Amino acid sequence: MDTMIKTAVNRRTVLAAGALGTAMLAMPTVLRAQDKSLKIGVYGGYFKNSFDKNIFPEFTKATGIAVESVAEPTGEAWLVQLEQAAKAGAAPADISMMSQVAMIKGQSTELWTPLDTAKLPNATNLLDRFINKYPDGRIAGIGAVAWYITLVTNTDVYKEAPTSWQAFWDPANTDKLGLLALVSNSFLLEVTAKTFFGGTNALDTEEGILKVFDKLAEVKPNVRLWYRDEAQFEQALKSGEIPMGQYYHDVTGLAASEGHPVRSTFPKEGGIQDSGCWALSRASKKAEEAHIFINYMCQPAIQATLSRKVGTAPTVKRELLDLNEKEFAAVSSDIEPILPRYDLLTSKADFLNQKWTELIVG
Amino acid sequence: MKREAPQSIADYGPLFFPAGMLLVFFVVPFGTMIAVSFFQRQQGGFYTPAFVFSNYERFLSAFFGGVLGFSLMLAVTVAVCCVVLALPFTYLLSKLPRRLQVIWLVALLSVLSLSEVIIGFAWSTLFSRTAGITNILVQLGLMKQAVALSPSFGAVLTGMVYQALPYTVLVLYPALVRLDPTLMEAARTLGSSPVRAFFNVLVPALRNTIMATLIMVFIFALGSYLLPQILGRPQHWTLSVLITDQAIYQSNMPFAAAMAVFLVLVTLGLVALTLLIGRKGEKA
Amino acid sequence: MSGLVLNGVTKQFGTFTAVENVQLSVPHGTFVCMLGPSGCGKTTLLRMIAGLDDPTGGTILLDGEDITKVPTHKRNLGMVFQSLALFPHLSVGENIAYPLRIRGKGREDQKKRVDELLALIHLPGYGDRPVSKLSGGQRQRVAIARALALSPKLFLLDEPLSALDAKLREAMQVELRQLQQKLGITTIVVTHDQREAMTMADTVVVMNGGHIRQAASPIEIYRKPADTFVADFIGSTNLIETTADSSGAATVFGHSVPGLVLPAGLQKATISVRPEDVHLTAPGNGAINGTVTFVRDLGGTIETFVEAGGKQIVAVSTPRARPEVTAGQQVGIVLAPDVCVVLKQ
């Protein structure tokens, strides 16, 4: 069951099959007992392991702040826990890595302590889209990690890499696609809007959304698999059983480097960029340390380390990074990304879900 | 033996444990689910306690009716397939020497230890174009070229039958072992071939067992939500899949609860109907 | 030949031989009881006749036709099982009609035949009852009626009355015998109860260790048992060692028995004398001398235990036909030559 209850936010568990079980347990890891300390929630499994190994020890060395990392459970369960704990004045973690949808939901209850830019000098390094704001402009969160979902193909079946998301609509690709099954993690409405309607603004009105749905419906005959389980699609892509689809850029790159006949392509309309934020619970009494941590994470050198060691796309501007061409291409692209409409995914969640389910099931 | 009415609270003691279990493992969870199904969903948030029917209203549509209908149809088909396959199999098994029976039962139990995920992946590989069973048929010259058998309704059905078959066999086994073997022999001396006797003696003599097994497999299959996703197309997704989507991915607990309550009620209704028809048939 | 013939029928289960080289012929219309202790092979033999077990050797002929390889359902026989094997999901009438339905008989024919059979077993009007509502004896009759529904060539019964209480069993034995005579059907009953066999059978087949020890009429089995097993198994008997002189005249415990002659060439033999054939007289007078050790007075009969030559001899008689004796008394034993059966070695 574990492998199925997975969203984009904890997708890294795919790479850490052995860590699946631990992902369900919030097991704290105490690094060093010191006066100053911080509890940090990280997506359980691959992310937590990578951070424990590559980031937190260095941070403690540099700042003297001990880190206790907490594995976040899957889905939105962590948000529920934070919310309920905050009501009781407790914080199971001071800072947590949160999905964009969870950020918006947390904003509605003022769960996140607004961050002070004066204490985050490095935040100026960030790309604008990685600063998460309350509707009134206060800063709710700062980009933690980002990744791309791109157009992936099996190189044995497709000798030429496709150049556009339009390939999904090509009648030649009947019954060849593997697409994510949920409206909340596939972001195919945004892809359709960007590819055929000039941008995700086409989704601003319900009429617009319905038009986009109609266009997206045309893709159905080409879809062999609507997947929730990433391993299932990845395996089918490698074998050529399902030779085209949408998948994670860095994981696909990793598979290609291991010799599998797969490739990840940034279409000319851009790859889909999803990300997680650092957010501070309002129940936390460690605001000072939290700002120090977030500021630390916004350094270009740390972002470069994340890209090299964890495979995430950097949240800071490219010119500040010392990543070479190859290292950068492994995790990101200069093509302007398609940004998911998280606002719609929360404000119109039930409407989108209903239409989406009717679209693919009906 | 004359039973005396309980005199003190202590006399009710033996009831506490089962009553407690029932309360903790059934009444409380199911009651919670019913309560949540009437709560108000907060889009972009969670839910607030309330008493609204909107969750049920949303469910009462042609779309969800179709999904519910498909789920029931799939569960019934799985139950019938399982019993049709398991009954002759278990009958023949019960005729084997004791040692062979034990080996078979251990093998079946080991299938039970496989998780749904492993079963789903194994069958999706077996049904794939690139590595599946059709490649063997091609090598044998029975097919021109390998084809993908999954995702399809047949693949979903195969996977679910495979998963439920060991349960079916294990439920039928004790009844078949206890069945008087001379019943079948008597039928043969009275002019029935073994196959005919199987249908006109063994099957009717085990009618209640068979009915109970059908209901068990039906309910078991109704809860399946992984195999339809792995082996089927979206039109083969069961209501359980949509409930999971709502509960886990949409955080829409009230709607998921409403669907679950509805599914439980429909299931109980169908089971009651089946038992009622069965009892009438017995009287006639 | 019309009737049933078993020709060298053998059944082995692995290394165990349950039935070995059985020869038997049962003329048409005969009532045969197969009698023997449990494990003697009688049930296995019956099951082979029914086709429920396959012989590992030999042939079975019914009315001249080899049916060894014919499957049970094509053998045209009726069988009553020890468990009765009535179908629990069918009513009395449906149980009896089952073989008729299988043969595709019409609804009217079925009903007519069922009514006929219900009358035959003295249960008219019971057709609609569920079998679970019947008494033991009634179920017994239903099982018999069902087995006879198709007027089979062969009627087989495996310990059919063992589940009934003693009184009912005796009544059913008589009833079964009368029914068989009325229908004239070749019948084979397996039983371990010798009274049952003696009551019903034309021919009693005594089996032991997978072999037929003797097949004969009940009276012959009793009067002229073939060997020590049969003599001992059927009724009670006195087994007495005898020796013969060169002329063949036999002596028992050193006393010659006038008129008793062993077959030529036999020096020693065991003879069987039924207790009721042992006569007690005053000692001496040419009789075998013995001492009374115990007297069991059962009212109707008196059993007298006499020790003679280190052996115990039992004599049974009616009170009037016997001189008054008490324990410790010396008596003479008189054996008439015609009641002494010389047994096979």
CA nearest neighbour of C155 among C199, C210, C200, C124: C200
CA nearest neighbour of C52 among B194, A338, B102: B194
Burial of A93 (0-12, 13-18, 19+ CB in 10 A): buried
Instruction: Collect all residues of chain B within an 8 Å Cβ-Cβ radius of residue C156.
Output: 189
pLDDT digits (tens, 9 = 90+) for B22-56: 888 888 988 999 998 999 887 755 778 888 888 89
Which residue type does A207 have? E
Would you give the end-to-end CA distance of chain C in angstroms? Answer: 33
Give me the residue label for tokens 């008219």: C124
Rounded mean pLDDT, C98-119: 92
Strand partners, A7: none
A window 156-195, beta carbon within 8 A of B:
181-182, 184-185
Q: Sketch the domain layout of chain C as residue ranges.
A: 3-233, 238-342
pLDDT confidence of residue B75: 95
B75 and B215 in contact (C-beta within 8 Å)? no
The 3-state secondary structure of C176-220, one letter per residue: HHHHHHHHCCEEEEEECCHHHHHHHCCEEEEEECCEEEEEECHHH
Residue A10 pLDDT grade (very low, low, confident, very high; cuts 50, 70, 90)? very low
Instruction: State whether residue B148 sits within 8 Å of chain A by CB.
Output: yes
Whether A1 has a pLDDT exceeding 60, the answer reads: no
Residue B281 pLDDT grade (very low, low, confident, very high; cuts 50, 70, 90)? low
Mean pLDDT of chain B, nearest integer: 88
Cβ atoms within 10 Å, residue A135: 9
Which of C54, C76, C98 is the best mutation test for B, with the most CBs of B within 10 A? C98
Rounded mean pLDDT, C5-17: 92
pLDDT confidence of residue C282: 82
| Peptide bond between residue C55 and the one before it cis (omega within 30 degrees of 0) | no
Q: According to CATH, what is the number of the domain C3-233?
A: 3.40.50.300
CA nearest neighbour of C309 among C236, C229, C227, C242: C242
H/E segment holding residue A154: strand A139-154
Listed in sequence order, the residues at least 6 apart from A28 whose beta carbon sits closer than 8 Å to its beta carbon are A39, A68, A69, A70
Shortest CA gap C87–chain B (Å): 7
Listed in sequence order, the residues at least 6 apart from C158 whose beta carbon sits closer than 8 Å to its beta carbon are C43, C46, C47, C79, C80, C81, C82, C190
Domains along chain B with CATH numbers:
61-283 (1.10.3720.10)
Whether B256 has a pLDDT exceeding 80, the answer reads: yes
Contact between B229 and A185 using a beta-carbon 8 Å cutoff: no
Does CATH number 3.40.190.10 belong to domain A149-272+338-361?
A: yes
A44 and A70 in contact (C-beta within 8 Å)? no
Rounded mean pLDDT, A307-318: 92
Contact between B151 and A224 using a beta-carbon 8 Å cutoff: yes
Q: To 10 degrees, the CA torsion angle through B13, B15, B20, B26?
A: 180
Q: What is the CA radius of gyration of chain A?
A: 20
Lowest mean pLDDT among A3-7, A123-127, A207-211, B250-254: A3-7
Contact between B190 and C71 using a beta-carbon 8 Å cutoff: no
Shortest CA gap B167–chain A (Å): 20
Concatenate the DSSP letters of all residues of B110-162 into one string.
Answer: HHHTS-HHHHHHHHHHHT-TTTSHHHHHHHTTS-SS-----SSHHHHHHHHHH
Instruction: State whether residue B63 sits within 8 Å of chain A by CB.
Output: yes
Separation of alpha carbons C333 and C278, rounded Å: 7
Q: Do chains A and C touch (3 or more CB pairs under 8 A)?
A: no
Q: Sketch the domain layout of chain A as residue ranges.
A: 8-146+274-331, 149-272+338-361
Residue A296 is encoded by which pair of tokens? 């630390």
Shortest CA gap A269–chain B (Å): 27
Angle between helices B207-222 and B153-178 in degrees, nearest 10? 150
Contact between B189 and C52 using a beta-carbon 8 Å cutoff: yes
pLDDT digits (tens, 9 = 90+) for A83-133: 889 989 999 999 999 999 889 989 988 999 999 999 999 999 999 999 999
Instruction: State whether residue A3 sits within 8 Å of chain B by CB.
Output: yes
Instruction: Collect all residues of chain A within an 8 Å Cβ-Cβ radius of residue B235.
Output: 361-362
Instruction: Collect all residues of chain A within an 8 Å Cβ-Cβ radius of residue B129.
Output: 241
Whether C290 has a pLDDT exceeding 60, the answer reads: yes
pLDDT confidence of residue B3: 64
CB-nearest to A182 from B67, B130, B249 is B249
C316 and C303 in contact (C-beta within 8 Å)? yes
pLDDT confidence of residue B145: 86
The answer, yes or no, to whether ipTM is higher than 0.85 is: no
Shortest CA gap B275–chain C (Å): 17
Residue A2 pLDDT grade (very low, low, confident, very high; cuts 50, 70, 90)? very low
Angle A133-A134-A140 (CA atoms, 0-180°, nearest 5)? 60
Burial of C26 (0-12, 13-18, 19+ CB in 10 A): buried
Answer CATH for C238-342 from 3.30.750.24, 3.90.1570.10, 3.40.50.10860, 2.40.50.140: 2.40.50.140
Instruction: State whether residue A358 sits within 8 Å of chain B by CB.
Output: yes
Does CATH number 3.40.50.1820 belong to domain A8-146+274-331?
A: no
pLDDT digits (tens, 9 = 90+) for B114-161: 888 899 999 999 999 888 888 898 988 888 888 888 889 999 999 999
Whether C249 has a pLDDT exceeding 90, the answer reads: no
Say if strands A244-248 and A139-154 run parallel, antiparallel, or are unpaired: antiparallel
H/E segment holding residue C108: helix C107-120
Angle C158-C164-C166 (CA atoms, 0-180°, nearest 5)? 115
Instruction: State whether residue A353 sits within 8 Å of chain B by CB.
Output: yes
Rounded mean pLDDT, C74-85: 92
